[in-house]
Amino acid sequence: MADNVVTPPFRATFISILRAKAQKLPDGTMGAAKYSIRAAFPPTADLKALQEQAKSSAFAKWGDKMPKALRSPFRTNDELDNPIPGIGDDWIIVTFSASEDRKPGVVDANLQDIMDEAEIYSGAWFRAEVRGFAYDNAGNRGVSFGLQNVMKVKDDEPLGAGRAPANKAFAAFAPTGTSGKSAADIFG
């Protein structure tokens, strides 16, 4: 069995780590609910430990008889059907997931549990503890990573078409001491 690996920091998108979420399958049906997080690694990130784990997972399953059409867990942003807005085309994208019965632990940089969903958003920086595994499901063969635990490292600007933070959306309506505008200035 492969050992767990802790990733370098990444910006996260498509996050379901506090509640499992079902995904729509290519045939239109809904799949099993899963916990997941899509990791966007800068091109300078050291992914050697993840790459080695992927290789060893594939070798453990297939040995010297690797399938020809083996799916890699690593893709660049420009290879995605729907690239992630706000990051470069050369960023490396990897999805980590866990089945509904294996909820990952989620902590902040001070190792305190995160329970508030508002703390978890696309664009924030995280690390993940993951374990590689190879799969062979009805001819669909590849390597993926099982999600064990997640740590939020720091906040950053939200990614994608998500909503703006409330403090930016309402900045023009802030009290006089905050924005320099009064109600009379705003409404005449």
- The residue extents of the domains of the chain are 5-157, 162-188
Query: What average pLDDT score do residues 136-155 get?
Result: 93
The pLDDT mean for the chain works out to 88
The average pLDDT across 77-106 equals: 94
Q: Is the pLDDT at 10 greater than 80, yes or no?
A: yes
Residue 159: its pLDDT value, please?
85
Is the pLDDT assigned to residue 120 strictly greater than 60? yes
97-110: per-residue pLDDT in tens?
A: 999 999 999 999 99
Q: What is the pLDDT of residue 26?
A: 74
pLDDT at 1: 47
56: three-class secondary structure by DSSP: helix
Nearest to 5 by CA among 137, 110, 148, 124: 148
Q: Would you call 70 helix, strand, or coil by DSSP? A: coil
Per-residue pLDDT of 19-68, as tens digits, reads 999 988 778 888 899 999 999 999 999 999 999 999 999 999 999 888 88
Record: fold of 5-157? OB fold (Dihydrolipoamide Acetyltransferase, E2P) (2.40.50)
Spatial CB neighbours of 62, under 8 Å, sequence gap ≥ 6: 134
- SS3 for 72-127 is CCCEEHHHCCCCCCCCCCCCEEEEEEEECCCCCEEECCCCCECCCHHHCCECEEEE
Instruction: In whole angstroms, give the CA distance from residue 82 to residue 116.
Output: 28
| Mean pLDDT of all residues in 90-102 | 96
pLDDT of residue 188: 59
The answer on pLDDT for 172 being more than 90 is no
What pLDDT is stored for residue 165 in this prediction? 63
Which pLDDT does position 24 carry in this prediction?
Answer: 81
CA atoms within 13 A on the CB side of 118: 3
